[in-house]
C-alpha cells in the first residue's frame, strides 16, 4: 500500500473532487493497475480537457492526497457516458465507486442528461452488481468485445440508467 494513503480504508477518509487534467498521471497509474490494456496519461489528459468531460476522483492521504479512485465520463446532448471507472485494490468495497457514480449522476442530471450509458464485461460480477444496484439495466451486447490475454474474448454489456428530472425546489 502507498505509505501516503491512510490504511484505515474508511470512505470517511476520502475526498471526492472534480478530476482536473493535472491529475492525469496519477489516474493513468491507477488505471494501469486495474486494466489491460491501460490508458496512458496523454489519453486521460485529453479526455479530462474535453469540454464535455464530467469526471471525478477520490483522494486520500495525509499531506499529498493520492488518487485512490476515479470515474471518467462525458456529456453529449441529453446523454452521458461512463468511459472508465476504477478503485484502487486497497480501497475496494468501501463505497467509493458508489459515491463516484452518484456524483457523476448528479452532474449528468444538472447537465440535462436523460440517461447514462456504460459498457461492462459480462464476467465483471462485482461491477454488474453495483450497476444493477444503482438502477442500470442491460440494453445491448457487443460480442467478444474485451480481449483477455490467454483466454477467450468476453462480451461487453451495454447498460443504461434512465434519469428522472431533478426535483423542483419548493
* φ, ψ for residue 16, nearest 5 deg: -105, 130
Task: Give the separation between CA 74 and CA 57, rounded to whole angstroms.
Answer: 14
- Give the number of other Cβ atoms within 10 Å of residue 168's Cβ: 5
Could you identify the residue written with the cell 459515491? 99
Task: Give the separation between CA 100 and CA 41, rounded to whole angstroms.
Answer: 20
Q: Is 146 a catalytic residue?
A: no
Q: Is 131 a catalytic residue?
A: yes
Q: How many CA atoms lie within 13 A of 2 on its CB side?
A: 21
Among residues 25, 102, 119, 122, which one is catalytic?
119
Task: Give the separation between CA 19 and CA 12, rounded to whole angstroms.
Answer: 19
Q: Which residues are catalytic?
A: 119, 131
Amino acid at each position: 500500500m502507498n505509505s501516503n494513503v491512510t490504511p484505515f480504508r474508511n470512505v470517511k477518509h476520502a475526498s471526492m473532487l472534480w478530476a482536473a487534467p493535472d491529475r492525469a498521471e496519477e489516474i493513468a497509474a491507477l488505471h494501469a493497475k486495474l486494466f489491460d490494456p491501460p490508458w496512458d496519461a496523454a489519453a486521460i489528459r485529453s479526455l479530462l480537457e474535453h469540454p464535455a468531460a464530467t469526471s471525478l476522483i477520490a483522494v486520500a492521504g495525509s499531506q499529498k492526497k493520492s488518487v485512490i479512485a476515479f470515474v471518467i465520463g462525458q456529456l453529449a446532448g441529453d446523454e452521458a457516458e461512463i468511459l472508465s471507472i476504477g478503485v484502487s485494490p486497497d480501497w475496494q468495497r468501501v463505497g467509493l465507486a458508489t459515491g463516484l457514480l452518484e456524483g457523476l449522476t448528479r452532474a449528468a442530471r444538472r447537465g440535462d442528461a436523460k440517461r447514462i450509458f456504460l459498457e461492462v464485461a459480462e464476467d465483471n460480477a462485482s461491477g454488474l452488481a453495483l450497476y444493477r444496484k444503482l438502477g442500470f439495466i442491460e440494453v445491448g451486447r457487443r460480442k467478444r468485445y474485451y480481449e483477455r490475454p490467454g483466454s477467450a474474448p468476453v462480451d461487453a454489456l451495454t447498460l443504461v440508467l434512465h434519469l428522472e428530472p431533478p426535483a423542483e425546489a419548493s
